[in-house]
Amino acid sequence: MSKILKFFDRHLAYVMIIPAIILILLFSILPILESTRYAFFDFQLNDQKKSGIYMTSNYNMPLSDETFEYIDYYLEIEAATVQKADTIQYINRMRDDIKGYQLNLKSILGSQTGVVETSRENIQVIQAINKDIKFAIDLLYSMDDVFYSEEDMQAVASELETCIIESNFIGLDNFKQILSDPRVIYTLSITLIFTFISVFCELLLGLALALIMNKAMKGRGLIRTFSLIPWAIPTSVAALMWSYLYNGSSGIVATAFSNIGLIGQPTELLLTAKAALGSIIMADVWKTTPYMALLILAGLQVIPNALYESSSLDGANKIMQFRHITLPLLKPSILVALLFRTLDAFRVFDLIWVLTGGGPGGTTESISVYAYKVMFAQTRFGYGSAMVLIMAIAVGMISYAYIKILDVKLIGE
Amino acid sequence: MKKLLAMVLVLVMVLAVGCQSTPKVAPVTTEPTQPAAPVEKVTVKFAVQADSTDALNQLVKAYNDSSDKYQVEAVVMTNDSGNMHDQLINSLSSKSGEYDVISMDVVWAGEFAAAGYLEPIDTLIKDNGWLPTDFNAGSMASGKYKGKNYVLPYFSDLGFLFFRKDILSAEDAKKLEEGGYTWAELLKMAEGYMGQKGTKYGHVYQSKQYEGLTCNLNEFTANWSDIKGGLETMAKFVKSKATPEDILAYTEGETHNAFLNGEAVFARNWPYMNGMAASGEYNVKAEQVGFAPLPTGSTVGGWILGVNANSTKMDGAKDFLSFIAGPKGQKINATVGSYMPGFNALLADSDVLAANALLTNTGFQNALKATIARPVVANYSEVSDVIQIKAHEFLSGNGKLEDAVKAIEEKLK
């Protein structure tokens, strides 16, 4: 007992953070590990051969039962419509044979139900059975008689192959495929262009806005409040609002742009690749500049006034003060703001989803939008997970680059 | 003064404690003893999109009144079909029996069937004494995967041509209604009639980058038999002065606004637009509207019904499905909600015809005869996504025709 207490005493700090570690493990590390695991499998829901994580050979029992039932069902239909006695006899014999095959199959696999794990040897035996059945069916339809369900029968019989589930572990194939998927390359470059231009504009405008907000003047509180409004509007609502403004037949921004000659027709704004991307960037800059300004403003306020006073005594003008006092001391705040915004912008989803849906012709699709489509609309979980992992790596690289370039020590030695 | 205050405080405390310690007597509830139901009804859950008419309520009520074994509960899901798809996938992929009967958009059946989420229903059709041909062909084709039928129609829907009877000459109207015309002739007519009676456009249809574009391209390419020709025709429509400048941003909403406000001579849309015209709330009234088949067939839309393969109340689910897709349920749906019945025999039923004026129109009947389905494949959303992106890219002048044709052909293989 005293030993335990002693241990607690010595490592109190660690003991205190145990709940936090458990939470992080449960809600952060585990899901990441799970989705990392998916990335190594050809895991997709719309194919029963791949709708699970399989390391070994398996056999889909319910589908097999259903398929045998259907083969019998179609044989019965054919038996009712064929003309010759020979054919009927053949069909009757075939129905018995196929029942025999099914029993044989069950004796191999035992009485288990569901998706049954089995050995490679058993799978080979089953494949031989499938081949025999296929041969019997082909023979039936080569007979000189009138058949009505050949296409259906062949389609149903092809499901016997679907019952055999092989391991869908594919190692790094998903990643290889992603790196050669032109759509990934394209969406990634669109995302990068979007991120860099919008974050750059936001930084400049945000810095200017922060300097204004930091000035002691009348109505400062009001300016601060009003300038935050765009940021307070939910992104999807803001995107919807901009989509009305950009609308080719009634949007005021689209009309204004075409009147001053930025674009030829109001409709071109959302229907040409470059203009549409520009529109998205503009909406994003409008929306998130206040956020940037807020973060920089916080940095501005911790710069002691004494520095400015003493430098002005030394004869420094405003520009010199900005370059040699404001900017260097703002560096950590700017880094944090840039980091936040870059990571945010890199994951851009809702703005594009609502404003253009990725159009025209997929030219404004960001990698998040594509990943969402792959994961949820197309249920290709393996491929989608791999894509998301690559996104995470890209985000990590960007963060690292920022810290290196701006050379700021976030954590003191 | 202080004493008084102290006394008041003490009093308050005593009261507070006293109140707390008062034994709480549970109110004696005298529930009226209801006559016990002879057998507890099994609840069957029906996942369905919201119905703006009263048909769904009446369907459920009629079933619950007639069945003494099962009780149906309609789980009304979101009206956004993309979101409903993702919600259903979420539930079905976890092998949950949360929903027993599922209402699906026609294009989901291939995916759901391939994933093993749906129970084949050929035996159900047989047990009811029906044939697959008793139901709407396009809807049944949408739900037939690998030789098995998985769905029955809930209500069918199809795209067709609306035109302004008060503008077109009787001769042209007749030609359209008979259906023996080409896309080029339609464009010529649209260009010729445009401007009459205050119209601004000749023809409007859906070609924003979304599912509607796939539906329209299905029609332009004559069910994908001539992808190159279809895309070229569509491009001619886009370039023509007879279509709005921003036709590439048109969805159903823009289409019905333009047509019902009297801005367009022709429109390609779904039957619901006729209901809007019939309501009398728009500039264009029902008597000004004529209907015609499209030159190369009408895309089938609408909703279909299937049974969850993991349902724990399989018998109840099948019983309800037989009711709702059979003549009784379909008649309620057609007479109360004016939906197009999926059970063919009802197309000649006098009550159904009385509730749905469209069904007696020659032009519409001709459209009904030439319905085409969208591709029935396991990865439909992926296929449709590529079709939308490539077609929109080409139509908006951001891509080459050859690339679009090649990409679409590859996906349809």
Rounded Cα distance, B155 and B104, in Å: 11
Strand A115-117 relative to strand B371-372: parallel, antiparallel, unpaired?
unpaired
| Residue B13 located in a structural domain | no
pLDDT digits (tens, 9 = 90+) for A206-238: 999 999 888 877 888 888 888 889 999 999 999
A window 305-324, beta carbon within 8 A of B: none
Domains of chain A: 2-38 (no CATH), 58-165 (no CATH), 176-406 (1.10.3720.10)
pLDDT digits (tens, 9 = 90+) for B153-173: 998 889 999 999 999 999 999
For A150, the closest chain B residue by CA position comes to: B147
| Residue B27 located in a structural domain | no
Contact A65/B at CB under 8 A: no
* Residues B277 and B152 grouped into a single domain: no
Q: Please answer yes or no on whether B114 and A359 come within 8 Å at the CB atom.
A: no
Q: Which domain holds residue B347?
A: 43-157+302-367
| Residue B19 located in a structural domain | no
Q: Please answer yes or no on whether B111 and A376 come within 8 Å at the CB atom.
A: no
pLDDT digits (tens, 9 = 90+) for A91-104: 999 999 999 999 98
Rounded Cα distance, B117 and B307, in Å: 8
Share of chain A above pLDDT 70, in %: 98
* Residues B106 and B51 grouped into a single domain: yes
* Residues B183 and B111 grouped into a single domain: no
| Residue B33 located in a structural domain | no
Query: B34: buried, middle or exposed (CB in 10 Å: 19+, 13-18, 0-12)?
Result: exposed
Q: What is the pLDDT of residue B210?
A: 84
Number of domains present in the structure of chain B? 2
Residue A73 CB partners (closer than 8 Å, separation 6+): B122, B123
The letter for the amino acid at A222 is L
* Residues B266 and B402 grouped into a single domain: yes
Query: B80: buried, middle or exposed (CB in 10 Å: 19+, 13-18, 0-12)?
Result: exposed
- Write out the two tokens for A145: 């008689």
* Residues B209 and B328 grouped into a single domain: no
* Min Cα separation A203/chain B (Å): 32
- Write out the two tokens for B383: 């296929």
Q: Please answer yes or no on whether A159 and B146 come within 8 Å at the CB atom.
A: yes
* Residues B309 and B259 grouped into a single domain: no
* Residues B192 and B267 grouped into a single domain: yes
What's the distance, CA A139 to chain centroid? 48
Contact residues of B toward A, CB < 8 A: 82, 85-86, 89, 93, 111, 114-116, 120, 122-123, 146-148, 208-210, 244-246, 248-249, 378-379, 381-382, 385, 389-399
Q: Please answer yes or no on whether A362 and B245 come within 8 Å at the CB atom.
A: no
- Write out the two tokens for B66: 């007639």
Comparing CB atoms, the residue among B148, B382, B395 nearest residue A378 is B382
Contacts of A265 in chain B (CB under 8 A): 245
Q: What is the pLDDT of residue B28?
A: 45
Q: What is the pLDDT of residue B31?
A: 47
pTM of model > 0.90? no
* Residues B383 and B235 grouped into a single domain: yes
Rounded Cα distance, A320 and B284, in Å: 69
CATH number for position B328: 3.40.190.10
Contacts of B378 in chain A (CB under 8 A): 46-47
pLDDT digits (tens, 9 = 90+) for A299-311: 999 899 899 899 9
| Residue B6 located in a structural domain | no
Name beta bridge partners: B289.
B164
* Residues B51 and B118 grouped into a single domain: yes
Q: What is the mean pLDDT of chain A?
A: 88
* Residues B125 and B214 grouped into a single domain: no
Q: Please answer yes or no on whether A272 and B398 come within 8 Å at the CB atom.
A: yes
A39 or B31, greater pLDDT? A39
Phi then psi dihedrals of residue A354, to 5 deg: -80, -40
| Residue B10 located in a structural domain | no
Contacts of A153 in chain B (CB under 8 A): 147
Q: What is the pLDDT of residue B204?
A: 96
For A153, the closest chain B residue by CA position comes to: B147
Best residue in B146, B204, B238 for a mutation probing chain A (most A CBs within 10 Å): B146
Q: How confident is the model at residue A410 (pLDDT cuts 50, 70, 90)?
A: low
Q: What is the pLDDT of residue B169?
A: 93
How high is the mean pLDDT in each 10-residue block of chain B (413 residues)? 51 45 42 54 91 87 92 87 85 90 92 92 92 88 91 91 94 92 95 93 92 94 94 95 90 91 95 85 91 92 93 94 94 88 89 86 89 86 90 90 94 88
Contacts of A74 in chain B (CB under 8 A): 147
Q: What is the pLDDT of residue B270?
A: 92
* CA triple A243-A245-A251, angle to 5 deg: 115
Rounded Cα distance, B313 and B310, in Å: 9
Comparing CB atoms, the residue among A73, A153, A273 nearest residue B398 is A273
Tokens 């449960």 correspond to A26
* Residues B357 and B244 grouped into a single domain: no
Name beta bridge partners: B102.
B47, B306
Comparing CB atoms, the residue among B86, B147, B391 nearest residue A70 is B147
| Residue B38 located in a structural domain | no
Q: How confident is the model at residue A413 (pLDDT cuts 50, 70, 90)?
A: very low
CA distances from A130 to A100, A122, A137, A220 (A): 13, 12, 11, 80
- Write out the two tokens for A8: 């607690």
Q: What is the pLDDT of residue A263?
A: 84
Q: What is the pLDDT of residue A408?
A: 58
Q: What is the pLDDT of residue B29?
A: 44
* Min Cα separation A362/chain B (Å): 5
DSSP label of B340:
B
For B389, the closest chain A residue by CA position comes to: A361
For A158, the closest chain B residue by CA position comes to: B146
Average pLDDT over residues A381-408: 86
3-state DSSP assignment of residue B205: coil
* Residues B79 and B221 grouped into a single domain: no
| Residue B342 located in a structural domain | yes
Q: Please answer yes or no on whether B146 and A158 come within 8 Å at the CB atom.
A: yes
B105 or A15, greater pLDDT? B105
Q: What is the pLDDT of residue B377?
A: 85
Contacts of A247 in chain B (CB under 8 A): 246, 249
